[in-house]
Amino acid sequence: MTQNENPASLIVIFGATGDLANRKLFPSLYNLFSKGNLSKNFAVVGVARRSLSNDEFKQNIIKSIGTVSNDVDKMNEFASHFYYHSHDVTDSASYTALNEIITDLDDHYGTKGNRIFYLAMAPEFFGTIATHLKEDGLTDVSGFKRLVIEKPFGHDLQSAQELNNQIRTAFAEEEIYRIDHYLGKEMVQNIEVIRFANAIFEPLWNNRYISNIQITSSETLGVEERGRYYENSGALRDMVQNHMLQMVALLAMEPPIRLNTEEIRSEKVKAFRAMRPIKDDEVKQFFVRGQYGPGYVNGELVSGYRQENMVNPESNTETFVAGKLMIDNFRWAGVPFYIRTGKRMKTKSTKIVVQFKDIPMNLYYKTEQTLSPNLLVIHIQPEEGITLHLNAKKAGQGIDAQAVKLSYANKGVDGINTPEAYEKLLYDCMKGDATNFTHWDEVALSWNFVDNISDVWQNTYANFPNYEAGSYGPRESDILLARDGFFWWPVTNLDVESC
């Protein structure tokens, strides 16, 4: 499909009164509007159960975008494109009324029959909504039609297949945009550029020169008000199945023939297929789970997971996962990819650390000096940038080496903040660029990998809680790397330095 710049489009947001729409979607659309990246021919219909008038809904929009703007005239102009429909997702009559509204708006705003349906609501309604959109005529359009859905896409491989089959009755695979907001982050997208646009890295990007790769995504927050959801999900399904495995695939994939959607996806799928399955008796050897207990975060005493709202007092749900992944192909044979993610940890950070192998001989052994390994650190959040850790000569008469850092920070470039991930992904969807969305093949393969681990954990009791809130997770995660002679690089010592 040809990608158009700033195409006319009518966006229908299901769940328009929810947290995601108000915190992320409306501000992101406004940023696109204020930068001129949103066509003048656009309209948005908010859909939810709550009874609201158009004026009340527009006031909600202005309140939402007030976090990113104080330009009253521009905010009012933006909100004038928004309309509201009180909706029952199970009632065909409600879809008929919605279709009449968007047909009129299509004529009024000249959106050329282009429709984007964004499902910002509970995943159990995805299939129902998609089916009704087809059966009640909302997908009979003269332009393009696209369905945007949030994770989780299913609860395991079987439920994901059932959901996909249901959605595919209404939308073709190329019309389905499965959002993984990590793929919209600046430095995640930069992985491809770092690898494929730099002659000093790609020749070294293999098992001859890299000893291990570590991916850490830690949060200081607990489950907050998501206890009910998290009890049925856990860190394995909530973070590993999508965000963490997507980053592994980007780091491990072969160079694509071209930098387009089809070729990049093809190489990512090959990387997923090369991931060594973790069989029942291997789970303890390759993966560690944890659950936080009471502890101190930023000097404040916080409760343990089992004391959180809507959580089982004897919960077996993991809030931390660390794992060792092996990629069984010619490039990566023998190189471990370590991942860890958890809630209520010491610091909020998402980083990738590529550790290169030591030089064959330490020429500084006579001075009993230990050389630091070369590291390439990709900082994803909260700061964004790249740091290369090298060894260089100390100032003075001797030839002693010292560790130095070469840093690039996005925040140091013209003082411009990088766009919100949702802003990028919404823009890509409107243009028809699905590169940074997950294909069904990726979803199926990642569920297939995770299900083996999940089945073992569900059928065995864990000795929880096994790490304090405000720590770096359970001791077993350190042992996981120690067995291979490695250790977790402390994320607080790898902060990017402003340029």
Contact 202, 285 (CB under 8 A): no
What is the rounded CA–CA span in Å between residue 138 and residue 231?
A: 35
What is the rounded CA–CA span in Å between residue 113 and residue 140?
A: 9
Single out the residue of 63, 100, 93 nearest to residue 78, CA to CA.
63
Active-site residue, 243 included:
yes
Rg over CA atoms, the chain = 24
What is the rounded CA–CA span in Å between residue 487 and residue 367?
A: 25
Torsion sign over Cα 98, 104, 105, 111: positive
**Cβ within 8 Å of residue 45, ≥6 positions away:** 10, 11, 12, 13, 82, 83, 84, 85, 98, 101, 102, 105
Cis peptide preceding 152, ω within 30 of 0: yes
DSSP codes joined into one string, 54-67: HHHHHHHHHHHHTT
Q: Give the bridge partners for 438, in sequence order.
A: 178
Residue recorded with tokens 């079987």:
158
User: In Å, how far are 38, 176, 260 from 33, measured between CA atoms?
Assistant: 5, 24, 26
What is the rounded CA–CA span in Å between residue 426 and residue 21?
A: 12
What is the rounded CA–CA span in Å between residue 194 and residue 216?
A: 19
Burial class (CB in 10 A: 0-12, 13-18, 19+), 243: buried
What is the rounded CA–CA span in Å between residue 124 and residue 15?
A: 13
Indicate which residue of 85, 87, 181, 243 is catalytic: 243
Six-digit token pair at 19? 């947290």
| Strand positions, DSSP E, 274-346 | 287-290, 292-293, 295-297, 300-302, 320-326, 336-342
Six-digit token pair at 411? 């925040």
The amino acid present at 105, given as its one-letter code, is: L
User: In Å, how far are 42, 52, 105, 113 from 108, measured between CA atoms?
Assistant: 10, 22, 5, 11
CA 286 to chain centre: 23
Helix 421-431 and helix 26-34: axis angle, to 10°? 70
Q: What is the chain's length? A: 499
Would you name the residues annotated as active-site residues?
243
